[in-house]
Amino acid sequence: MSLNASTSTSLSTLKVASLLATLVLSGSVLAQAAAPSAAASAAVVKKPAAAVPASSPAKKELIAKILKIQAASMDGLAHGLVGQPLNTLMQQAAQAMQQVPAEKREATSKAIEASVKKFVDENAKLVKERADKLLPSTVGPILEERFSEDELKQLLAWQESPVSKKFAQAAPDIQKALVEKIMAESGPTLQSHLQALQQDIVKQLGLQAPAASASGASKK
């Protein structure tokens, strides 16, 4: 990301991207909040619990193979987790860049980008190591409990198939294309709505208008 060129445009994009991330996280939280209610309803109905598929050495071997394949995708997960909090940080950096003398902005931008890259590389490695360590004890029991040996065989066959591997390779491009399309078609609307929300909150809090509005008024 270049902090030197089109700072205001980057700032707007980051705000919208941050809003999209917040909406996604909010949906996840709501889903988690609804889970206890669903569990409570099930308890009231008192439906008989589904039988846990029997365990066996063959089943454990299948799970180990599935987890090994899953471990290969942990790198992308780690980079995603590490990159989440950077939106706000880069937004603040873009704002601060306005205060840097013009002749120093390019060098400052490159220095910041190098620091961010170093942070992502170092911490993504740390997160991946933790994920690899936790995968067997976290995902393994879920596969053990919810899948029969035959189902695990089918799952493993799919994961090892050329089609599955091809889809996994295409997944980042698919996600990137979708996000870019969403941002192109929904970004301006979301940005406008976000600005309206900010103004409404400022009004309700009885705070002063943003500096841009204040400076515009002083020129009249």
Q: What is the mean pLDDT of residues 75-90?
A: 82
Query: In three state form, how does the secondary structure of 85-119 look?
Result: CHHHHHHHHHHHHCCCCHHHHHHHHHHHHHHHHHH
Rounded to the nearest 5 percent, the helix, strand and coil shares of the chain are 85, 0, 15
pLDDT at 27 over 60: no
pLDDT at 132 over 50: yes
pLDDT bin (cut points 50, 70, 90) of residue 105 is confident
Q: Which two tokens stand for residue 101?
A: 């003398």
- Listed residue (141, 159, 168, 119) closest to 59, CA to CA: 141
Q: Which has more confidence, 41 or 188?
A: 188
Gyration radius of the chain over CA positions = 24
Q: What is the mean pLDDT of residues 34-47?
A: 43
Taking the C-alpha atoms of residue 17 and residue 134, their distance in angstroms, rounded to an integer, is: 30
Q: What is the mean pLDDT of residues 40-47?
A: 45
pLDDT at 101 over 80: yes
71 phi and psi angles, rounded to 5 deg: -60, -25
**Whole-structure pTM value:** 0.54
Q: What is the mean pLDDT of residues 104-117?
A: 90
The whole-chain average pLDDT of the chain stands at 74
Do residues 107 and 61 lie in contact, with contact meaning Cβ atoms separated by under 8 Å?
no
List, in order, residues 6 or more apart from 120 with CB less than 8 Å away.
79, 82, 83, 86
